[in-house]
Amino acid sequence: MSDPALPNKPRTVILISGRGSNMLRLVQAAQEGRCHIDPVAAISNRPQAQGLAAAEKLGLDTQRLDHTQFDSREQFDDALAEVIDAYQPDLIILAGFMRILTEAFVARYEGRMLNIHPSLLPLYPGLNTHQRALDAGDTEHGATVHFVTATLDSGPLIVQSEVPIESNDSSDTLAQRVLDTEYPIYTLAADWFGRGWVSMQAGKVTLFEQTLLSPIKYRNGQLYGADAPCLEKLNLSLAPQS
Which sequence positions are flagged as catalytic? 117
CA 61 – CA 40 distance, rounded (Å): 6
Integer Cα distance of 125 and 117 in angstroms = 8
Give the CA distances from residue 196 to residues 137, 174, 208, in Å, rounded to whole numbers and listed in that order. 39, 33, 8
Buried b (16+ CB within 10 A) or exposed e, 10-42: bebbbbbbbbbbbbbbbbebbeeebbbbbbbbb
In this structure, are strands 91-94 and 113-117 parallel, antiparallel, or unpaired? parallel
Q: Where are the beta strands (DSSP E) in the chain?
A: 11-16, 38-44, 61-64, 91-94, 113-117, 140-147, 157-164, 198-201, 204-207, 210-211, 216-219, 222-224
Beta bridge partner(s), residue 206: 199, 211
- Rounded Cα distance between 163 and 150, Å, is 28
d(CA 18, CA 97): 8
Query: What is the C-alpha separation between 119 and 134, in angstroms, rounded?
Result: 12
Question: Euclidean distance between the first and final Cα of the chain, in Å?
Answer: 22
